[in-house]
A and B are shown apart, each in its own frame.
Chain A
Amino acid sequence: MSLPTQFRCGIDTGGTFTDLVALDETTGDLVVAKWPSSPHHPEEALIGVIRESQLPPEAFSSLILGTTVATNALLQREGARVLFVTTKGFRDVPFIQRINRRYHYSLEWTKPKPLAERIDCLEVDERINHKGEVLVALTDQELVRLSERIEERLNGTDRPNTAVAVCLLFSHLNPKHEQRIQEYLTGRFQDLPVSLSYRVAPIWREYERGSTVLADAFVKPTLQRYVGSVRKSFESMGISCPWSVMKSNGGRATAEVAENEPVGVVLSGLSGGIIGGRFFGELADHENLVTLDMGGTSCDVGVVRKGQIAYNTDYQIEWGLPVAAPFVDLTTIGAGGGSIAWIDKGGFLRVGPQSAGADPGPVCYDQGGKDVTVTDANLVLGRLNPNYFLAGKMRLNTDKAHQKLAELGATLGMTVEETAQAVIEMANENMANAIRVASIDRGLDARDFTLVAFGGAGPLHASGIVGRVGMKRIVVPLYPGLCSAFGSLIADFQVDKVWSKHFRSDRVDVDVVRKHFDELVSEAVREIHDEGFFGDPEMERTISMRYAGQNYEHDVRVEDGEITAGSLDEAFEEFHRLHERFYGYSIGYEVIELIRFNVKVVGRTDNPQLKAVATSGEPRPRETRQVYFKEQGFVACPVYRREDLRAGFTWEGPALVEEADSMILAHPGDRLSVDAHGVITMDV
């Protein structure tokens, strides 16, 4: 039998598992598969999971990969040797950093090491000032001198794993010197990739821009190797459809773009979840969403407002090492099933951020874990099925979890159940707190939002979290454990462009602004075509503004159409309103400074049509289990299988719904309903 090419496929490489979700575009059927990740050879797990899906190579129409290969290279410091090139007098900026410290009262903390050694930081005699004017020209002799020093530094070293990062002062205002260095070095050293700070982060502040370009250069050879091995693997399997890599901003990049500007895919593995969450939230008819992806070790919280995902450029590799590139804005905290419960010196119960991980894992995994975890607490309270964990692939040891919780409870003077309940409440409170921070930081009120809960543990905790932040409704996607892979499959194309230029609202040159916006747009459209999108993209133009004298900006949207004095005035009015909303005051007559001009171009991917689930018949619980709730104590609780549920079915908690990779918990009084596609909504 030969299948037509009709499967759109998303694959997400996580720390433990590589997940695949493929969508049959004609029938709306979903095919899912899971395969253990192979951290050192991610392509092997790709091959494994594709084989596991049993889809033939010619069945795929497109493949999109979410990968943590760049993130891991940064976090584990396994990347290129980077030569850092900067303006004379400034080679120590990556070491000096911003001179503040992570903790007020700790002598244990040490400053993060930058991604280049000091001996590899080289200076060139050139200087541009704050107006973009050249004070000291970059001469040919200086370029020769630089290349000689690079030659000297490279002498006899592993050339293929080396890259250059260039960050010159004020290059965001005038990039000519950086461009010249790149041209010269690329001509002189053919196999040496050169990253420029004005391209990867056209922002002011030399430390933050330099740190970003260092990260780009650091992961570049790693990305090149990854792309090369994936390409080879797909060829060997006979897969010939186009494929791309998820970008940190939620868009997707062709392999070529990903390897040339890897700073854009640093958080590739994180962006799928919120996109998948948004899809299911919107399917259930909600446009204001908080997404909660809770797995084994951590929990990511994202915000979707009126269908728009929030973005940020403040990622840090570790505290103090920023990467200022656009990424979907997630608040990540150390709260997952494996988070460890402990008692601090003041006698408070704490949960996380330390995790028992997959090995040894929670006490109930029976692999030698000694620390009580959130999973142990869930098991003891009857919220997990010891015989159907990972669809029965792992049996959980309830007795051992019980014993360890009893020991913890003895120190707190609480019963086993009270202790387990407190552990879960602490974890829930930590996540609720992340939701508060994520919404408050954007001036939003979480109570107006719907929670989309996924990841292995999200649907189990969701009902316990929403009440703490005043939310009322929860949506649980199909295959909650595979939501990131699903998100990759439906990702749009997206290109972000920035132009840094300073204007005052009372002296802004409308023609110059119009001209540059037009240039940014055409550049972005060209790039989005390079990334494989051929339709008419949507675009959004914003200007980063602040009151004259302030130091931080707000992005204000400019209405579509030609830029005119009127459309700018409109944007200034909007800035006053935003300032009022965020900070409680505005200054109507104050001059506004325009700092950056931003263009976002989005190529929409058609949303998939999911298959309707059956409507007939009343599902029967597979069993009834005693589950502990704080107010009621142990209560008889029906346990359903998700595959048994029918569209239109509604009922009231307490109830559990189990499936292969997740468990949904409805507290007493929660109302559940199943929609036409099988998505579950829970009102609490």
Chain B
Amino acid sequence: MENIDSVTLSVINNALINACREMGTAMMRTSYSPIFNEGLDFSCVIFNTRAEMIGQAEFCPTMLGSAQYAVKWTIEELGLDSFEPGDVVIHNDPYRGQCHMPEHMVLKPVFHGGELQCFVGNIAHIGEIGGMAPGSFASDATEVYQEGLRLPPVKIMQRGEYVKDVWRIILTNHRTPKTSWGDLHAMIGSLNIAETRMHELLERYGAELFAAAGDQLLDYSERWMRSEIQEIPNGVYRFQDCMEDDGVTDQPVWMRLKLIVKDDEIIADWTDSDAQASGPVNATFVVTAAATYSAVLHVTNKDIPVNSGCYRPIRLITNPGTVVNVRHPGPSVGGNTETHPHLQNVVMAALSQAVPERAAAAEAGTACNFLFGGAHPETGEYYTNYHFDGGGWGATALHDGNSVMCPVNGNCRNTPAEVLETKYPFLTLEYSLRTDSGGDGKFRGGLGSKRVLRVVGPEITVSALLDRTRTYPWGLFGAGHGAAGGLLVKKKGDSRFRTFSEVYGTVSATKFTRIVLKEDDEVAILSPGGGGYGSPSERTAEQIEDDVRQGLISAAAARTSYGYER
């Protein structure tokens, strides 16, 4: 089909985005777990029949880069001709194109005139999927079988009817089946809305034009992305970073990048990275791909319609069996929340050598994953919750880093204290900015947060997975690094907070599972601050004075970091 005029193309692009937004709104409003409805930890997508993403809405970007692999795998494994109207496929296998096990994709084929035209889908974090730890964040898992229930692409709905056997298997293996049941309905219900929108679009434009528009939108984004990459100086840029430990051994695991920019293409060569870790900090290939895509999107124009076309000029090289491309049966649950932002920070640091004016220093890089569960003291019902916190973002060439933000690989909201306490037996004693946690520089890194929780009921079982508690979010161009994060505990009657290793003897102080806290015990979650940008000597007296006045830095830090005396 010849070129579609730009107005029509824009209209179709808008319609695809709107359908995805509607899906997201429906999920937020109907889902059961806070990670969905407060956190918005999901993505909504539309794919063509060649498994290319032609539309998406901005919720959580983590899943966007990976979705195309998950959909492709599903189509290749099941075959295009196996889909019928009313089918919904579910899929969370990290070795078949998913980010990690909690991320579940549901995918529905859309038919028009008896022919398969496209797929609508969403990927969302199901809070509890079984496995060795409540909340399914097994920080000391050594293989995937400990991380929960793994589902290859299978139909959960067939011709509009429940496939009851599959539902029974899923709900039997999750600790909080009622919540899973509600969240899965929210996911599947939202697909129906997007399907209706696609029918309207197909009705209006016809199948041929619809398909051609999808292709041309992909080409359009590719063209724009290539012109953006063209503006990045050619060269080979290297950077490396590590996970400080893997939850099972106390060894760092290194990710090493050689980023090659050549004309209008980028090659991310990760082959020098360490072998895959014993613990669950391994990234699946799609996580590494998503992190690479996302970092590049951060230094290019924010208005490029994000679809598979954007990714075409970006290639990856990874070795299977390494921390950036885990092989079965290596565990990977933390690879998506922790290794993912690290990988993205590494790509950003490499790019900062090429386009310093468009890059940012490192951000906290950890979601401070804190999982807990038990029997609720008021109802006796079993609950689990996946809790996370934001941290400081890195400063840029133009401004200070934002304080307390969701890590760069996601875009989730925090859970309000009033919501948390209504649902779970924790009392929040403090939720504050950490003074002096932002890296010093011409532009200061964002501040991390401190959250103190007290157990209200008889006991709560907790697990955790945090990184950058011994390493730091780095600064750029002479700036200082952000403060490290931490996770501390104060037993009832104790006078001070100590690490979990000190109190409970865990191998890792911040990656462990199934510690039982008792009534009135307290936990402090400290998120890291972001790195600074440019030499601290270039920061103006006015900015330093204001930071001191507002309590963002202490007078002592003003003296030692900036040499400022008033």
Contacts and interface: CB of A to CB of B under 8 A. Distances in A.
Interface in A113-168: 117-119, 129-130, 135
B301 A99 contact: no
A111 B402 contact: yes
Interface stretch (A2-10, A56-64, A341-349, A600-608): A341-349
A545 to B, nearest CB: 12
Contacts of A582: 26, 29
B18 A119 contact: no
Contact of B304 (A107, A346, A422): A346
A436 B220 CA distance: 25
B22 interface: yes
B164 interface: no
A345 B228 contact: yes
Given A89-B430, A551-B31, A99 B18 contact: no
B37 A550 contact: yes
A441 B25 contact: yes
Given A110-B402, A585-B189, 4 more contacts: A90-B417, A118-B551, A345-B228, A346-B304
Contacts of B427: 129, 135
A538 interface: no
Contact of A107 (B220, B228, B396): B396
B432 A91 contact: yes
Interface stretch (B8-16, B44-52, B85-93, B535-543): B8-16
Contacts of B299: 107
A616 B283 CA distance: 81
A426 B550 contact: no
Nearest to A428: B7
B414 interface: yes
Contacts of B29: 550-552, 582-583
Q: In which size bucket is the chain A interface?
A: 35 or more
Interface stretch (A203-211, A273-281, A321-329): A203-211
B37 A552 contact: yes
A418 B329 CA distance: 60
Given A89-B452, A107-B298, A205 B414 contact: no
Given A96-B404, A99-B404, A348 B429 contact: no
Contacts of A108: 302, 396, 398
Contacts of B302: 103-106, 108
B185 A89 contact: no
A642 to B, nearest CB: 31
Nearest to A350: B10
18 contacts: A89-B431, A90-B417, A95-B403, A104-B411, A105-B294, A108-B398, A135-B427, A205-B418, A206-B417, A345-B228, A346-B223, A347-B223, A422-B7, A433-B14, A547-B182, A551-B32, A552-B28, A585-B189
Nearest to A117: B550
B224 interface: yes
Contacts of B402: 101, 109-111
Interface in B240-271: none
A350 B10 CA distance: 9
A104 B58 contact: yes
B192 A584 contact: yes
Given A104-B58, A433-B14, A552-B37, A119 B549 contact: yes
Contacts of A345: 224, 227-228, 301, 303-304
A181 B452 CA distance: 26
Given A206-B417, A429-B11, A110 B399 contact: yes
Contacts of B412: 99-100
A117 B547 CA distance: 11
A103 B406 CA distance: 12
A92 B431 contact: yes
Nearest to B301: A345
Nearest to B388: A99
Report which residue of B18, B396, B418 has the largest number of chain A beta carbons within 10 angstroms of its beta carbon.
B418
Given A90-B417, A205-B419, A100 B40 contact: yes
Contacts of A535: none
B32 A550 contact: yes
A29 interface: no
A129 B421 contact: yes
Contacts of B170: none
A555 interface: no
A440 interface: yes
A583 B358 contact: no
Report which residue of A99, A204, A208 has the largest number of chain B beta carbons within 10 angstroms of its beta carbon.
A99
A425 interface: yes
A96 B411 contact: no
A445 to B, nearest CB: 10
Contacts of B280: none
B236 to A, nearest CB: 23
A584 B189 contact: yes
A96 B449 contact: yes
Interface in B386-436: 389-390, 396, 398-400, 402-406, 411-414, 416-419, 421-422, 427-433
Interface in B274-332: 294, 297-306
A224 B178 CA distance: 52
A99 B389 CA distance: 8
A169 B193 contact: no
A515 interface: no
Interface of A: 89-93, 95-101, 103-111, 117-119, 129-130, 135, 169-170, 204-208, 344-350, 412, 422, 425-426, 429, 433, 436-437, 440-441, 468, 502, 547, 549-552, 579, 582-585, 587
Per CB-CB distance, the 3 closest pairs between chain A and chain B, nearest first, are A551-B37, A99-B390, A346-B224
A208 B421 CA distance: 16
B190 interface: yes
A64 to B, nearest CB: 35
A89 B429 contact: yes
Contacts of A100: 40, 405-406, 411-413
B194 to A, nearest CB: 10
B552 interface: yes
Contacts of B300: 105
A96 B9 contact: no
B7 A204 contact: no
Given A101-B406, A105-B302, A107-B358, A119 B550 contact: yes
Nearest to A99: B390
Interface in B421-462: 421-422, 427-433, 449, 452
Contacts of A207: 416
Given A95-B403, A111-B402, A550-B182, A429 B10 contact: yes
A101 B431 contact: no
A118 B30 contact: no
B422 A204 contact: yes
B61 interface: yes
A426 B10 contact: yes
Interface string B521-552: 00000000000000000000000000001111
A103 B303 CA distance: 10
B419 to A, nearest CB: 7
Contacts of B431: 89-90, 92-93, 96
B193 A583 contact: yes
A101 B405 contact: yes
B384 interface: no
Given A91-B432, A96-B449, A169 B417 contact: yes
Contacts of A96: 390, 403-404, 414, 431, 433, 449
Given A89-B452, A105-B61, A436-B18, A549 B182 contact: yes
Contact of B421 (A110, A130, A349, A350): A130
B550 A118 contact: yes
B520 interface: no
A111 B406 CA distance: 12
B525 to A, nearest CB: 13
B312 to A, nearest CB: 14
Contacts of A109: 402
Contacts of B429: 89
A92 to B, nearest CB: 5
B209 to A, nearest CB: 16
